[in-house]
Amino acid sequence: MKEILKESGNTLQNLYMNNSNIRQGLFGILGNNGKVSNLILNGRVSSSATPNADFVGGFVAINYGTIENCTNYAAVSGRCRIGGITGHNAGKVYRCLNEGQINGYQADVGGICGTNGSYGDVGFTIECRNNGSVSSVKSHCGGIAGSNGQGPNLTKGFIVNSYNTGLITSGTGSGGIVGGVGDSFLGAGGVSYIYNCYNRGNTNGGSPIVGVNLRRFNSSTLE
């Protein structure tokens, strides 16, 4: 998608999306020049793809563009890489809010992004807030992102001026801001930056900031 969708606080009510696509959201893929802004979403977004119900986001399944000033109240669910705003962010998410319930039955589940910067991509999540509950049956579950900067060289994830107040629940690796900043099967070399972020949500025994750091990365910076 290359066109710009911009509305003045318009609300999409009672949206229900559930099909066998592995990329599920209001938009499947938002391209480099794409922009979604000033939208409010209510309803439910999920994927029933078997076995890989992956990349599910309230607004965008996979983001390479810009998502800004959007609020999600919808329940979002799937298997892996599940986020209230986007399933995978390789672009910019700015001043977005999640109030919806986010659930994944494997890993990489976040209130804003399922994954922020991964697979060689660079992702920026700036001035975002999560108030909704986020849960993952297995691992990597975070208030802002399920994982940040996980992957090979050139992968970078930036989370700046963001905070969480929602309940975070995971089998392992729950974090108030990020569930994990490393994953061995993706290889070493990624960089994770978390700057000026805080958590006031319950992580059910997990970390207040980062749930799992596999320490296979060049840098993981918390300031």
For residue 61, what pLDDT is reported?
A: 96
Residue 138 CB partners (closer than 8 Å, separation 6+): 105, 106, 107, 170, 171, 172
Residue 119 has pLDDT above 60, yes or no: yes
Reported confidence tier of residue 5, pLDDT bands at 50, 70, 90: low
CA distance 49 to 21: 6
Alpha carbon of 176 to those of 72, 81, 101, 141, 160: distances in Å? 19, 17, 15, 9, 14
For residue 1, what pLDDT is reported?
A: 43
CA distance 181 to 145: 10
30-39, 164-173, 188-197: range with lowest mean pLDDT: 188-197
What values do phi and psi take at 184, rounded to 5? -60, -35
Q: On the CB side of 194, how many CA atoms lie within 13 Å of its CA?
A: 27
Residue 185 CB partners (closer than 8 Å, separation 6+): none
Reported confidence tier of residue 87, pLDDT bands at 50, 70, 90: very high
CATH for 4-222 is 2.160.20
Each domain of the chain, given as residue ranges in start order, spans 4-222
What rounded mean pLDDT belongs to the chain?
86
Predicted TM-score of the model (pTM):
0.90
Mean pLDDT (whole number) for 86-96: 98
Q: pLDDT of 178-202, one tens digit each?
A: 998 855 444 556 788 899 999 999 9
Reported confidence tier of residue 22, pLDDT bands at 50, 70, 90: confident
48, two tokens: 């029933």
For residue 7, what pLDDT is reported?
A: 54
